Structure 1
Amino acid sequence: MKLASLKTGSRDGALLVVSKDMNRAVVVSQIAKTMQEAIENWDATRPGLDKVYEQLNADILKDAFALDVSKLESPFPRSYQFLDGSVYLHHMEKARKARGAEMPPNYKTEPLMYQGLSDRFCGPTETMVFPDATLEPDYEAEVAIVVDDVPMGTSKLDAGKHIKLVMLLNDYTLRSLTKTELPKGFGFMQAKPTSAFSPVAVTLDELGNKWDGEKLHLPLISGINGKQMGQPNTGKDMFFTYLDLIEHACRTRSLSAGTIIGAGSVTNQDEASGFGCVAEARIHEQMMHGKASTPFLKDGDEVYIEMLDDQGQSIFGAIRQKIQTL
């Protein structure tokens, strides 16, 4: 099943069920008015949503309409909690090397995670505004999960049953600020502005055998101004899985329904797969040629992130955003 949120002028939009081919959609306020309402009552709402999805794909719903992705909010226009990890250690090692930072001593025994801004997310085709191009804006192509209510202390063994939805994520980073902000020892604040998510969130059954219960095994395509930056496989070189991330996140707190958990910028050790952010490309160029040539994001650039199934069809729709610097 594919779900989205329609722009309505309200902060949370209106819940949509979207057809498998992403050509049609229908408002389902009779089941749940918003995505947050649906996830908070998932056991009650899921059967009705599944039925609508089946009817929508059969093209028998009179109130269905053509889907215009530009009229969509983020699937969750805002969330009570957004957590992002860094489980592709090759990316973490490169990013820290670029700013002259040492790796944490326990980075291979427990996941690195931060709590990010979540009171408003950027829509999948909405212009992303940065205050200053000198802050070195960068994108990070990721995959995120959405959970229902997770009790404190939930083990890895039980974590999988709480994963309800999957989305693509662009976790924007202002690279110049990480160099001054993180050494303070109090985590991200200014260096991590709002994030953006794919047009639709999908249930696990939409992913078929590409979801193995802990992670997703498909290339994540990203690029700038139509030029592909990379297509690393999300299941390769993932040191910790989504189950590890859930267990880590709920060690001392419960997670409320609708909590979003990202796994960090996707990268493979095989550099033939390319890169999931500008910083990695620049580090590679520095190592190979003595200087970086790929610029950070600038005014007028367009970032895209997408994932295709084995038949070449878009699973989540594309994050496609123009960049504006003030």
Structure 2
Amino acid sequence: MKLASLKQGRDGQLLLVSRDLQRAVSAADIAPTLQAALDQWHRLQPLLEARYQALNQGQLQQSFAFDPSTCHCPLPRAFHWADASAYVNHVELVRKARGAEMPASFWEEPLMYQGGSDTFIPPHDPIRLADEAWGIDLEGEVAVVTDDVPMGISAAQASHHILLVMLVNDVSLRNLIPAELAKGFGFYQSKPSSSFSPVAVTPDELGRHWRDGRVHLPLLCQVNDELLGCPDAGVDMTFNFFQLVAHAAKTRPLGSGTIIGSGTVSNRDSSVGSACLAEKRMLEILTTGQASTAFLRFGDRVRIEMLDTEGRSIFGALDQLVEAWQPDG
């Protein structure tokens, strides 16, 4: 299935979206929001699936043209959002950029932090920030959404708790990160609101591209219509999503609707480009001795998307302008 949330109220109205992303239909009579559907997934999934199949077969007169710009993130806000750094190649490069050594343990256990989940940015809305000097960066990622996950489960058990997959732009403020991490207490101001793709999909929609807890497709990242990179999300992912969910649930249960991010998709093969500007800048430093690529400026446009092997968008695109934030009034 493919699901989305129409902008309505604080938590959206649940939509089903056709496989080709051309048509949509309300599912609010089955579950008013995606969170409500996740809370009762095993009971409601058959009802949603039946309507989804009817939508794809053109049997629903009440369907309408799907417009991703009218959508919020699939979960407009979430009870729990935790982001990992599963692509250790990216971690190593970005730590080099700020002069930090990488402990060997990073190859043995995932890095993960809990981010703010109360104010996600809709996938076609502007990214508004107050100061370009903060070092505004995109981070193209993949994420999964879980049902209720018991504490202490294994990675093999965690595989049964992943309900949905979607894309992420984990906006980062690179110039705020070093001083914040130096305090020894993790990210906060350097990680503003994130965005997610217009559509979340059940893993079966990915077919053979969903295997071993990874999505085996390139992630296309563009800035101002120029390709930044297309690293394959299934390559060089040191820790898969099963391991990430199990890691998050080691000391506490996870509630339905928990979002677990992969961290920036990154391949050791630098010829495929990058999914964030910090990585591109580090590669420039390693090659020429200095970074020539600037971080995002007001007026820049960011686009993140994943296509199937026939060139069709799977999740819809995150397509966002970076704008100067102005205080209300």
How far apart, CA to CA, are the structure 1 residues paired with 2:86 and 2:26?
36
Partner of 2:27: 28
User: Conserved in 2, the CA contact under 8 Å of 1:298 and 1:325?
Assistant: no
- Which amino acid counterpart does residue 81 of structure 2 have in structure 1? F
- Which amino acid counterpart does residue 239 of structure 2 have in structure 1? F
How far apart, CA to CA, are the structure 1 residues paired with 2:171 and 2:63?
34
Partner of 1:149: 148
Partner of 1:3: 3
1:311 counterpart = 2:310? yes
Partner of 1:179: 178
Deviations 1:55-102 (CA, angstroms, capped at 9, x unpaired): 101111111111111100000000000000001111000111111112
User: Conserved in 2, the CA contact under 8 Å of 1:160 and 1:213?
Assistant: no
How far apart, CA to CA, are the structure 1 residues paired with 2:234 and 2:53?
29
Q: Secondary structure at the match of 2:322?
A: strand
For residue 106 of structure 1, report the CA deviation from its aligned partner. Answer: 1.8
How far apart, CA to CA, are the structure 1 residues paired with 2:28 and 2:220?
33
Normalised TM-score (structure 2): 0.97
Matches within 5 A, 1:185-200: 185-200=184-199
Partner of 2:82: 83
Displacement over 3 Å in runs of 4+: none
Pairs aligned (count): 325
- Which amino acid counterpart does residue 110 of structure 1 have in structure 2? E
Partner of 1:45: 44
How far apart, CA to CA, are the structure 1 residues paired with 2:98 and 2:217?
30
Deviations 1:233-253 (CA, angstroms, capped at 9, x unpaired): 001111111111111100110
Partner of 2:254: 255
Partner of 1:95: 94
Matches within 5 A, 1:164-175: 164-175=163-174
User: Conserved in 2, the CA contact under 8 Å of 1:140 and 1:172?
Assistant: yes
How far apart, CA to CA, are the structure 1 residues paired with 2:320 and 2:229?
17
For residue 289 of structure 1, report the CA deviation from its aligned partner. Answer: 1.7
How far apart, CA to CA, are the structure 2 residues paired with 1:293 and 1:103?
24
How far apart, CA to CA, are the structure 2 residues paired with 1:109 and 1:228?
32
Calculate the aligned-residue CA RMSD, in Å.
0.8
For residue 183 of structure 1, report the CA deviation from its aligned partner. Answer: 1.1
How far apart, CA to CA, are the structure 2 residues paired with 1:260 and 1:289?
38
Unaligned runs of 5+ in 2: none
For residue 277 of structure 1, report the CA deviation from its aligned partner. Answer: 0.3
Q: Secondary structure at the match of 1:123?
A: coil
- Which amino acid counterpart does residue 208 of structure 1 have in structure 2? G
How far apart, CA to CA, are the structure 1 residues paired with 2:90 and 2:152?
29
How far apart, CA to CA, are the structure 2 residues paired with 1:250 and 1:125?
32
Matches within 5 A, 1:236-315: 236-315=235-314
User: Conserved in 2, the CA contact under 8 Å of 1:198 and 1:317?
Assistant: yes
How far apart, CA to CA, are the structure 2 residues paired with 1:207 and 1:21?
13
Normalised TM-score (structure 1): 0.98
For residue 213 of structure 1, report the CA deviation from its aligned partner. Answer: 3.8
User: Conserved in 2, the CA contact under 8 Å of 1:83 and 1:262?
Assistant: yes
How far apart, CA to CA, are the structure 2 residues paired with 1:325 and 1:137?
11
Q: Secondary structure at the match of 1:181?
A: helix
Partner of 1:234: 233
How far apart, CA to CA, are the structure 2 residues paired with 1:60 and 1:127?
36
Deviations 1:160-193 (CA, angstroms, capped at 9, x unpaired): 0000000000001000010100111101000000
How far apart, CA to CA, are the structure 2 residues paired with 1:28 and 1:174?
37
User: Conserved in 1, the CA contact under 8 Å of 2:212 and 2:240?
Assistant: no
Q: Secondary structure at the match of 2:145?
A: strand
How far apart, CA to CA, are the structure 1 residues paired with 2:289 and 2:158?
45
Q: Secondary structure at the match of 2:311?
A: coil
How far apart, CA to CA, are the structure 2 residues paired with 1:127 and 1:290?
34
How far apart, CA to CA, are the structure 2 residues paired with 1:267 and 1:38?
33
Q: Which moved more, 1:90-99 or 1:282-291?
A: 282-291
Q: Secondary structure at the match of 2:20?
A: coil
Q: Percent identity?
A: 50
Deviations 1:183-220 (CA, angstroms, capped at 9, x unpaired): 11101000000100001000011000001141110000
